[in-house]
Amino acid sequence: MYRILTPTILLITSLTTNISCNVLRDVEQEIREDIFDIYRGVAIKTKEITGNNVTKDQMKLRMFRNRPEPTKLVLNDTDLHLLRNTKGRLVFITHGWTDSSDSDWMLNLKEAFLTKYPDDVVILVDWREPAGKLYYISSINVYDIGNFLAETIEKLLDEHDIKPSQLLLIGHSLGGQTMGFVGKRLQKSGRKLPRIVALDPAGPLFDIRPADKRLNPSDADVVEVIHSDAGTFGFKDSCGTIDFYPNGGNMQPGCYRVDISSLPGVKEPVLCDHRRSYHYFIEAVPHPKDYLVAVECSEWNVLRKTCDLNNTVALGDLTTTKTGEFYFNTNRNFPFNINHLGQPRGFIDAVESVGRGVKNEADEVSKKIKNGVSKLSSGVKNLFH
């Protein structure tokens, strides 16, 4: 029996190991595209039946500036000339699911920019109605909102003397994915955004999408991603040119774990990790060089504790063109910064924590592989009984 079983297993192993990695990647890509097409079709049909198609008037642009005088107004296409003489950047900020531009974090981030960079103009992009649908519908609506915002930006570039280098796009959760679609649309007209900042970009229903249907590193010259709830509400894998993983990318200090099946009204603790991305960023904007300093490190390097402590970048540095995965540690509560004079202090605790998480995940995968091989062996053995 074992004389038959052993060569059979060896044959299966040989065939498996000879499968090209490129072929496997192609198959995975096709599967992702098929799954995405199915769920996109369901969402679009639901929108058609319920009359919930997105229109441009469901996107509101709230403009704030300090110079030449403090200004606050809702922009439409006929008001875009007001932005013609902007000396600083146009900073577009948008929200995610069930949120709006009235939220404290958007107003606080707006204030952080106007205080640190008084020549900037901040535009809060409000799409609360399309963002307030069932999640699987709102996750499709980001495509429409991204296109509408791209149309407005194209008008600014074509008709009002705004330069692409003046643009900065920031989005949280579904808003991070939205800004990716803005970048894709602009590239069709030969422009590329200089920088997108995605604050824990949404993961559910985007993790099954092919790369060209979600935020990816090609959406701007620099795609900066802050992962604070990776694998839950946030996108798990690196999807930017530079990816920040505070405290390992999930389970943020000071965020309490709750059983969402047994407690009503637990929105705040459940979303705490997801929201920490914008709390960290708001705190970092006024300190672009020496605050919340992150260290380059890969998962393998984390396990070996060989992170490059000489390659650092501050979270609020909006000029960096560095690439890779960067890690930093935080306090449990505000102020979150634990660095002193730019030196990563207390970072090794975070490194070790991430390392344990990666090792546990690797052990779990190893167990599944062993179980799979065991079942395969049993099946082959029964086949020859």
- Please tell me the distance from the alpha carbon of residue 218 to that of residue 325, in angstroms, as a whole number: 16
Contact 75, 123 (CB under 8 A): yes
Q: How do beta strands 71-75 and 121-126 pair?
A: unpaired
- Please tell me the distance from the alpha carbon of residue 73 to that of residue 304, in angstroms, as a whole number: 53
Neighbours of 273 (CB within 10 A): 25
Determine phi and psi for 232, rounding to 5 degrees.
Answer: -115, -95
- Please tell me the distance from the alpha carbon of residue 382 to that of residue 373, in angstroms, as a whole number: 14
Q: Nearest to residue 92, comparing CAs of 159, 155, 166?
A: 166
Contact 384, 5 (CB under 8 A): yes
- Annotated catalytic residue within 101, 138, 173, 228: 173
- Annotated catalytic residue within 95, 172, 227, 274: 274
- Annotated catalytic residue within 99, 200, 229, 273: 200
Active site residue 126: no
HSE (CB half, 13 Å, CA atoms) of 194?
A: 14
CA distances from 13 to 27, 369, 377, 378 (A): 19, 13, 12, 15
Contact 200, 172 (CB under 8 A): yes
Contacts of 257 (CB under 8 A, 6+ apart): 251, 269
Active site residue 317: no
- Please tell me the distance from the alpha carbon of residue 220 to that of residue 217, in angstroms, as a whole number: 7
Contact 381, 12 (CB under 8 A): no
Q: How do beta strands 220-226 and 308-314 pair?
A: unpaired
Active site residue 173: yes
> Can you give the C-alpha Rg of the chain in angstroms?
23
Contacts of 271 (CB under 8 A, 6+ apart): 233
Residues designated catalytic: 173, 200, 274
